[in-house]
Structures are given as structure tokens and as C-alpha cells.
Chains A and B, each alone.
Chain A
Amino acid sequence: MKNLLQYLYTAYLLLGSVLLLPTGVHAQDAAALLQKVRARLDQVNDYQASGLMKTNVSFLKVPEAQVTVYFSKPDKLKIKNEKGISLVPKGAVTISLNNLLKGGYTTLDAGMDTTAGHKVRVIKLLPQDENADLVLSTLYIDETRLLILKARTTTRENGTYEVEMSYGKYIAYALPDRVIFTFNTKNYKLPKGITFDYDDGSAKKQETSAGAKGKVELSYSSYIINKGVPDGVFQ
């Protein structure tokens, strides 16, 4: 009987070790993978990119805009419309990949998935700073190409953002050709007294409800990489 108990105890320990082993290995892999991805991103010190911005938000009717995107390490990002006004979602600037990967965080390997036809490793980042605005980030990383294809970030204040990236001409620098940024929108409703509306007799549009999704798509046509971006651009 004593032998049986000893045997069971030994078996339990062994089984526990076996079960725990992959998690430990994956956690290590995830951190290493992130380091490699970060190293790829780090080769870009700054860039200036030209692109077309399409905004698809239910309560915004804005034309497509030619924009210039400026980036400078570590986390300066500015989207400018040189010929007019562009309303840029706040998260689009603060939730940049460089921002996600800076600071201390705990990595969790969440297994494999498929994004845009590519097999990706899903890694969750938990910030170590309990007061950080970012609550959780999930990265979908193409391991073979060392590219982040998708990032989903949950913040304390502004809900969940999602960034999807597809790569082409500038893949060597891990810079996307197209970025689709999805975000939560708040309720839009203005009292009639301060709006410039008139009743044209057409069917009333559905009122915008809270919790709807907005989308901004940036298609880059060209990048100027590591040629320097003046600080004044970001002010």
C-alpha cells in the first residue's frame, strides 16, 4: 500500500512536470520571438510615409485624404493632412506597435491561429505597471517572417483597438503597406440648437449607437526611412 502511494505520488509529480513544461517553454519562446520582432522594428529609427486615409465611422462623412505619417523613435507618431483637415482617432497614434512593445510586460503564449491566410503565433502582453492605460495586448505574429499581422489592445479608458497590417514593398523594414485600425466609437448626438441640420423630408437615418465600431484604413504608397524627421513635425 505504501509503495502504491509512493508510486502514485511520483507519477503525479512527473505528470505535473510534463504538463507544466510546454507552458514554460512557450513563455520563453514568446519572449524570444518578441525580441526578434522588436529587433526588426528597431532597425527603423524614423520614417516619413505618404498614404491614403479612408475613414469609415458611422457618424463621420469625410472624404478620403492624402496624408503624411511621421514616425520617430521611440514613440513619436503624427498623421498630417497637408492639404486639409483629418480627424485622427486618438488610439491610432498612442497604440503604435512601438508603444505596445515598450515598457515592462509579462508575455503569455496563447498558441497558434490564422490571420489573413498566414499561420500566426498569438502572444498576449500583460503590462507590469498596474496603473498603465493598456490592460491587455494580443499580438498575432507571423513567426517565419517575424511580422506582426494583427494587434488587439484593450485600454482602460477607450475600449478595444485592433490594428491589422499587410506588408509588401517595405517588408524588409517590417513596415506595412496597409494598416486597418478598428476602434470603439462613442455615441454621437448633438442637440438641434447647435447643429446645422435641416429636414429634407427623407427617411430619418438610424441614430448612432454607443459601442459601434469605427475603422480607419491607411494605404501607404511610399516611405522615406531613416532619413531623419524634424522634431517640429510632432508638435
Chain B
Amino acid sequence: MWKLLQIELFKIFRRPRTYIPFAAIAAMVLIIQLGLKFDGRSYLELMMSSLSDSFYIPYNMIMNGYLVAFVILNTLLIQVPLLVALVAGDTVAGEANMGTLRLLVTRPFSRTQLMLVKFGASVIYTILLLVWMAILALFLSMLLFGTNDMLIARNNVMEQIRASDVLWRYIAAFGYATVALSTVAALAFLLSIFAENSIGPIVSTISIVIVLTILSEMRIPLYDNTIKPWLFTSHMLAWKGFFYSRSNGEGAAIPGTVENLPAILRSLGVLLAYIVAFVTAAIWIFKKKDILS
């Protein structure tokens, strides 16, 4: 299995297109960092507009690496599923396209093992993409902007997190994002079974993610309580919940706490269920499939 996984990873990282998402992420992160470095105050003035009449706002302290990383993740984690689909959608369809799939299933591994290894390789790729993003978005931002307490503007409340209370939240958020993006990888992987070339599953995955994301973001009561709770895209943003603290009776944030951990765990459960469902379906279909290419 391990050898098979190494081969799959080798195949993924041999293709030039694998590196496009890494380059795209680097470009997007650097563009945002550059913009915030030179005009971050304007951005903050907009973000803090509701408070600036009543409070002294230390803009230079608020614009720090933790906030910049949060801004970047908010922007990028909507697009990254598309980048994940580029590789995950290619795992089986790419083999079919090259005519190596039939040869592959003649090897002394079960089809289940083969599929698990291929999905495992997609997950490892997703993790590496997130590690790359963490290095650029978080650690580079910390280097460029320094660190301080983190302020997050929510719809009805402004959250403040102590600098010493931030890093574990990022670790948890990246861990959660790994599961969220693996769900997209699992979907692309499933769709990859049906196609003879990778364009189909990649475009299909991107289309599904876009449509479901729009549905998740829409505020229509009919969908809010019926469809939305079951869409995996509704749960992909729950990583933000790690940055919301509980408050005490006097309204002060309690360091080290999460406002609604059960909701995050519920979302995590939904995503894991989707992953299991997609991968199980992929294995089941692949085992029954006539491999003609």
C-alpha cells in the first residue's frame, strides 16, 4: 500500500499542472499582502466604520499578521476547492485518458486498495496545498506585519482574541479546512470514475461547488431550514467558528474558548459523512465498472 501511495504521489507531482494551484495561491496571497501593506488602513477604516465614532481605533496595531492571514483565508478558502478539484478530478479519469487504468487494475492490488490509495494521494496533495497556504498566509504575514491581538468584524459583534490565544485557533482551522477540502477532493474523485478524461470531473466538481456555495450563501427562508443544513458547502466555512470565543456574564470574551463547538463538530461530522459517502460510492462503482481504457 505504502509503495502504491508513493507511486501515486510521484504521478501527481510529476505533472506540471499540479504546481499551478501552488503558484496561484502564492500569487493571490502576495497580492493581498501587498495591498494591505500599503493601504491596509483604508480597509480597516471600512471594517471599523461602526466603531470609529465611539472608540479610539489603534489601526496600526490591528493591522497585524493574524488579521491579514484571516482576511486571506476568507478570500482563498472559497477558491481553493477549485484548485483541489484540478488534481482530485484527474486521479482516475487521467489514467483512463492515458490508457493506463486497465494496466493498473491488473496489478496485484484490489480495486478497493487502489481507490483508497488514489484518494489518499489526493488528500495528501490537499494537505500540502494547505501547508503551503499556511506558510504564506500565516507565517509570512506574521513576518511582514508582526503579531498582536486579532480583531474580527462579524455581522453584529466585533471579536477580539488575545495574541497568545490565536495560534491554536489557526491550527484547528487549518485542520478543519483539510477535512472541508477533502470533501471536495472526494467529490472530484467520485466524478473522476465516470469520465474518460479529467476535464469532465474537474469542471463538474467546480460547477457543483459554485452552485452549492451560492445556495449556501443565499438568505432564503425556504432553503435555510430545508436544503442548506445538508449541503456540504454550508459546513465548509465552519472553520471560522474557531475564531469566535464564548463570553462571560459581563460580555467579556473568555480566552481559550470556542463559542459554539457543538455546531463546528456537527459540521465536521456532516463533512466526514460526505467524504465516506463519496469515497464508498466511488469504490463501489469502480469495483463494478468495466475497465475498457
Contacts and interface: CB of A to CB of B under 8 A. Distances in A.
Interface of A: 54-64, 83-85, 87-90, 93, 158, 183, 185-190, 192, 194-202, 205, 207-208, 214
A58 B251 contact: yes
A183 B241 CA distance: 30
Given A56-B250, A61-B247, A198-B241, A88 B56 contact: yes
A196 B238 CA distance: 11
B157 A59 contact: yes
A190 to B, nearest CB: 6
B151 interface: yes
Contacts of B263: 200-202
A61 B46 contact: no
30 contacts: A56-B251, A60-B160, A62-B158, A62-B159, A62-B252, A62-B253, A63-B161, A63-B252, A63-B254, A85-B148, A87-B160, A88-B56, A90-B53, A90-B55, A90-B56, A187-B50, A188-B158, A190-B49, A190-B154, A192-B155, A195-B153, A195-B154, A196-B154, A196-B240, A196-B243, A198-B238, A198-B240, A198-B241, A201-B263, A208-B157
4 interchain residue pairs of minimum CB distance: A200-B263, A84-B149, A62-B160, A198-B237
B245 A61 contact: yes
B57 to A, nearest CB: 7
Given A55-B251, A61-B251, A198-B238, A186 B50 contact: yes
Considering residues A57, A60, A196, A202, which has the most beta carbons from chain B within 10 angstroms of its beta carbon? A196
B162 A63 contact: yes
Contacts of A58: 157, 251
B291 interface: no
B234 interface: yes
Given A198-B240, A200-B264, A61 B253 contact: yes
A90 B54 contact: yes
Contacts of B47: 190, 194
Nearest to B55: A87
B170 interface: no
Interface of A is mostly: loop
Interface in B197-252: 229, 234, 237-238, 240-241, 243, 245, 247, 250-252
B74 interface: yes
Contacts of A198: 237-238, 240-241
B143 interface: no
A88 B55 contact: yes
A200 B153 contact: no
Given A89-B56, A158-B53, A197-B155, 5 more contacts: A59-B156, A59-B157, A62-B253, A93-B56, A214-B54
B241 A207 contact: no
B255 interface: yes
B24 interface: no
B234 A207 contact: no
Interface in B259-286: 259-260, 263-264, 266-267
A197 B240 contact: yes
A61 B144 CA distance: 27
Nearest to B266: A201
Given A54-B252, A85-B62, A201 B160 contact: no
Contacts of A192: 155
Given A56-B252, A189-B50, A200-B264, A87 B57 contact: yes
B160 A85 contact: yes
A111 B113 CA distance: 89
B55 A89 contact: yes
Considering residues B162, B238, B241, which has the most beta carbons from chain A within 10 angstroms of its beta carbon? B162
A113 B133 CA distance: 63
Contacts of A196: 70, 74, 152-154, 240, 243
A110 to B, nearest CB: 28
Contact of B54 (A61, A185, A190): A185
Contact of B51 (A87, A93, A194): A87
Contact of A61 (B50, B159, B241): B159
A194 B243 CA distance: 16
